[in-house]
Amino acid sequence: MTADLILVNGRFTTLDRSNPNPEAVAIADGRFLDVGTRAEMQALAGPTTRTLDLGGRRAVPGLIDSHMHIIRGGLNYNMELRWDGVRSLARAMEMLRKQVAVTPPPQWVRVVGGFTEHQFAEKRLPTLDEINAIAPETPVFILHLYDRALLNGAALRAAGYTKDTPNPPGGEIIRDNDGSPTGLLLAKPNATILYATLAKGPRLPPEYQLNSTRHFMREMNRLGVTSIIDAGGGYQNYPDDYAIIEKLHADGELTLRLAYNLFTQKPKNELADFAGWAKQVKPGQGDDLYRHNGAGEMLVYSAADFEDFKVERPEMPPSMESDLEPVVRLLAEQRWPWRLHATYDETITRALNVFERVNRDVPLEGLHWFFDHCETISDRNIDRIAALGGGIAVQHRMAFQGEDFVERYGARAAERSPPVARMLEAGVKVGAGTDATRVASYNPWVSLAWLVTGKTLGGLRLYPQRNLLDRETALRLWTHANTWFSTEDGKKGQIAAGQLADLVVLDRDYMNVPEDEIQDVESVLTLLGGKVVFGAGDYARLSPPLPPAMPDWSPVRTFGGYQKRATVDDRKYALMSGCGCDSACGVHGHRHAAALRASAPTRDEGAFWGALGCSCWAF
């Protein structure tokens, strides 16, 4: 067979142990035709074969996210101001101010997850007063992890929250002395109040949702992602909310491979959801670009232990087992793989009791079921999962919440949150992902950095050496290990003859850059089935055209998505990093000369500068 494309002069990490470091790669009909020496690959060239010189760059298999909410996220991406990667609250608030200025009524400005206060130099969130000063009339909604949302006065009015609005179960509306909502919503511990409030905002029309999803897919391609397993989500109903992604698939505009799980939407009626869906769709139904993957991550609401490490661990209700067993039994009988959200070992223990009971009647062997998250899983339960042939999909939520976990449970408990190396030693199938977009960032390299370094975005080292992974092992969890979770073993995830030709050329050498730079890696060339879906730098001319983000006030037009550290004026924002306000300072504005700071005769800069009338140092 003649090659369509030959890649030469690259440093290929194939993750194929039988052929780890080839010189060149040949691609034909969407698959890797052969992998070997340059001379061997050039022998496969024909008159129409294109050859690309990779300039000595590192090339890896296309990354696969085993847990993300891209279908829901794509519908809203163009409306969201992303603070992912922003390193100072001062810069985040400047972005907010600029977006407020161009957002027309009745639209909201939304910062919907993907960041943590710990990544900011100031180590704090904005205050409600700061948000209201920037946006007195435009609704602003800021979601922080699973634990809280900040709404300005305009957003409270738009959402209809008043003195008379009761607290929902598992959530709290913080009020002032008069009983009026302040704008702070807390998950205690259920995040439903946060997501239900967000759902009150305007939606994009279908044409804009198509555009939004295309831009989100391009953003993922820019970061080297070629496949995603979508974990469903609240307010993501099947089949209604899948119309946009299915149209993109039908129109040949998908630039990612998607395997989707179905997430029940009906507390107390979950069994009816899955029984109905089992008559509509079967696992594996679809093609290599878009296919059904089974049930979850929500199977029954009584088994959902939403994590919020700022509050105590929730106890699952006594009905958990009786609710869960008929659903799991139905799925096992229908041969539907499933995934179950479980943060805490206590929840995992009770779920495994159900799984083992079902397994005695309906063997689970060969069924690719797994737990998501598992931050506090015990060795005993790891071994129970291994014995049942299950898997664990881990995410880098601790990179965003590690400080909160340590404050509540201590540094010793955090050392194995989760114990990824122990899972691998036990023979459990382990894959990696992000749980983006609301809890953590969708950037896979932040996850890879977390797996390798054990550090949070705030710089806290969580894990001892025994729970860290080497770079190749971490990359395996982000590539072919994840194919088990979509029941596509051997089909992709390696640069090997016969596999789907999904490949990424990196802007820096992941295998050798300093640890601190891993989170900054991105793609300069992304191939999906041998076709270019993203190009930058020397390969920008190969990148397929993409229409501008819609609507014209979209934050994506101004800011893009994940914020690169290299594009930030670090000196400017470092000098502003102590600002407790986001307005011009009465003494010297934001011109905090480093020498002036260093010479201040005090350790308490806030008190010192505040005494002189400086508002930006008065915390």
Q: In this predicted model, what pLDDT tens digit does every residue of 215-253 receive, in sequence order? A: 999 999 999 999 999 999 988 899 999 999 999 999 999
Q: What is the pLDDT of residue 567?
A: 52
Q: What is the pLDDT of residue 587?
A: 45
| Fold entry, domain 77-200 | Diaminopimelate Epimerase; Chain A, domain 1 (3.10.310)
Q: What is the pLDDT of residue 170?
A: 87
Asked whether the bond before 547 is cis by omega within 30 degrees of 0, the reply is no
Q: What is the pLDDT of residue 603?
A: 52
Length, in residues, of the chain: 619
* Angle 314-82-566 from CA coordinates, rounded to 5°: 120
User: Residue 331 in 3-state DSSP?
Assistant: helix
Q: Where in the chain is the domain with CATH 3.20.20.140?
A: 206-528
Q: Rounded CA gap, 48 and 583, in Å?
A: 60
Q: Rounded CA gap, 578 and 58, in Å?
A: 39
Q: Decide: 256 and 225 in contact? Cβ < 8 Å.
A: yes
Average pLDDT over residues 52-69: 98
Average pLDDT over residues 300-314: 91
580: confidence class by pLDDT, cuts 50, 70, 90: very low
DSSP strand pairing (24-28 vs 63-68): unpaired
Query: Residue 455: how many CB atoms within 10 A of its CB?
Result: 20
Average pLDDT over residues 35-53: 98
Residue with tokens 């050798």: 512
Q: What is the pLDDT of residue 609?
A: 54
Tell which wins on pLDDT, 281 or 571.
281
Among 14, 20, 25, smallest CA distance to 61 is for 14
Q: Is the pLDDT score of 597 beyond 90?
A: no
Average pLDDT over residues 72-94: 97
CA-to-CA dists, residue 202 to 181, 185, 197, angstroms = 21, 19, 11
Average pLDDT along the chain: 92
Q: What is the pLDDT of residue 525?
A: 98
Residue with tokens 């400047």: 94
Q: What is the pLDDT of residue 307?
A: 81
* Alpha helices (H) in 416-463, listed in sequence order: 420-425, 444-453
Q: What is the pLDDT of residue 605?
A: 57
Q: Rounded CA gap, 419 and 252, in Å?
A: 40
Q: Is the pLDDT score of 46 beyond 90?
A: yes
List the structure tokens of 424: 């691998």
Q: What is the pLDDT of residue 614?
A: 56
User: Residue 391 in 3-state DSSP?
Assistant: strand
SS percent in the chain: helix, strand, coil, step 5: 35, 20, 45
CA-to-CA dists, residue 111 to 56, 78, 141, 282, 549, angstroms = 39, 11, 6, 36, 17
Average pLDDT over residues 127-135: 98
pLDDT in tens, 393-419: 999 999 999 999 999 999 999 999 999
Q: Is the pLDDT score of 23 beyond 50?
A: yes
Lowest mean pLDDT among 176-190, 323-337, 556-570: 556-570
Pick the CATH number of 206-528 from 3.30.365.10, 3.40.605.10, 3.20.20.140, 3.40.50.300: 3.20.20.140
Q: What is the pLDDT of residue 604?
A: 54
Q: Where in the chain is the domain with CATH 3.10.310.70?
A: 77-200
